[in-house]
């Protein structure tokens, strides 16, 4: 699983940071969280293909989080896309996307479905689910927690050999969940596989103040992507506008017992983001402050087996 930071800036694009967009790549699919203006170009400069996006989750309907949708969808259309696309967001998403796609003169060649989500709603996808959690912002807004379905248990080759299974196709068949006949008896996958293992969990805050409900939903996540618009000397202004300081983001990660914290939605007032990382590290470690187009590979937690 890879996190690809397409836009890490807050409110407006700057020469250093584009508007909000983060891609999560798992296998052959890309899941997009927010789609600020210019996201399609950021995707073209990244290793993620926009044609592999099946689901887009918009946190809220401030322009820096969704204005890239019309252009991205038109580019998909121009590139010959035929597969459908699902766009999920807070109250107003259906109406907003409908109006956005009515702009200009072009004919859609694939289906785009929009969905309004509320607090606690869960979207079931292929191999994972995404839960929506109400965010603390100035307009209807959501945070999201993506949780992979259970992964198969570890394959135990010595057990398979003891049951007469030869290395090669037999091992592969058992790992696919198939039953083998060996010397006149069945060898079932559960005889040679460990217990199912939890999938990975990644949390995306969107724009929000410090939210205990998000921390609870994100509990024990492998990675948290949390907005950190400003340093704590501007915390009162941040809270007035429904944003977090770097320290608040770190406190949320600590409450959630996250493995990793990524800070984004960085105000354009900070040409150097090091002070934001340093402020967060007083409360939580490890902390990363990605630049646009930075990529991070995420690995499952080691098994306790």
Query: How would DSSP label each residue in 194-232?
Result: ---B---EEEE--S-S--HHHHHHTTT-SEEEEE--B-G
CA distances to 108, 127, 140, 204 from 189, rounded to whole Å, are: 46, 20, 47, 36
Tokens 């202004």, located at residue:
237
CA distance 111 to 90: 20
115, 94 contact by CB (below 8 A): yes
3, 48 contact by CB (below 8 A): no
CA distances to 5, 30, 31, 104, 263 from 2, rounded to whole Å, are: 10, 9, 10, 34, 16
Residues with active-site annotation? 64
The Cβ of residue 91 has, within 10 Å, a number of other Cβ atoms equal to 16
The alpha-helical segments, DSSP class H, found in 93-211 are 93-100, 157-162, 169-175
Instruction: Name all contacts of 79-84 with Cβ < 8 Å and 24+ positions apart.
Output: 79/51, 80/109, 81/51, 81/109, 81/110, 82/109, 82/110, 83/54, 83/110, 84/54, 84/110, 84/111, 84/112, 84/113
203, 145 contact by CB (below 8 A): yes
């Amino acid at each position: 699983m890879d996190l690809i930071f397409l836009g890490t800036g807050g409110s407006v694009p700057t020469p250093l940071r584009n508007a909000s967009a983060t891609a999560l790549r798992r296998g052959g699919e890309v899941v997009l969280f927010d789609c600020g203006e210019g996201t399609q170009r950021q995707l073209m400069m990244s290793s993620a293909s926009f044609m592999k996006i099946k689901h887009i989750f918009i946190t809220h309907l401030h322009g820096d989080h969704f204005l890239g949708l019309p252009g991205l969808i038109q580019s998909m259309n121009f590139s010959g896309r035929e597969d459908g696309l699902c766009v999920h967001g807070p109250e107003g998403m259906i109406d907003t996307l409908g109006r956005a796609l009515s702009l200009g003169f072009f004919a859609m060649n694939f289906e785009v479905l929009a969905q309004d989500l509320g607090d606690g709603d869960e979207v079931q996808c292929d191999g994972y689910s995404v839960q929506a959690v109400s965010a603390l912002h100035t307009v209807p807004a959501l945070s999201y927690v993506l949780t992979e379905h259970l992964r198969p248990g570890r394959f135990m080759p010595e057990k398979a050999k003891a049951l007469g299974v030869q290395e090669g196709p037999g091992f592969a068949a058992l790992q696919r969940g198939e039953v083998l006949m060996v010397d006149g008896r069945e060898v079932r996958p559960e005889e040679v596989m460990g217990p199912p293992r939890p999938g990975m969990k990644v949390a995306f805050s969107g724009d929000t103040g410090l939210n205990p409900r998000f921390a609870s939903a994100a509990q024990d996540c492998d990675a948290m992507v949390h907005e950190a618009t400003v340093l704590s000397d501007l915390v009162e202004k941040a809270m007035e506008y429904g944003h977090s300081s770097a320290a608040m983001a770190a406190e949320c990660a600590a409450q959630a017992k996250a493995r990793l914290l990524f800070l984004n939605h960085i105000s354009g007032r900070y040409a150097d983001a090091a002070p934001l990382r340093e402020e967060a590290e007083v409360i939580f470690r490890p902390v990363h402050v990605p630049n646009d187009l930075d990529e991070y590979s995420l690995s499952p937690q080691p098994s306790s087996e």
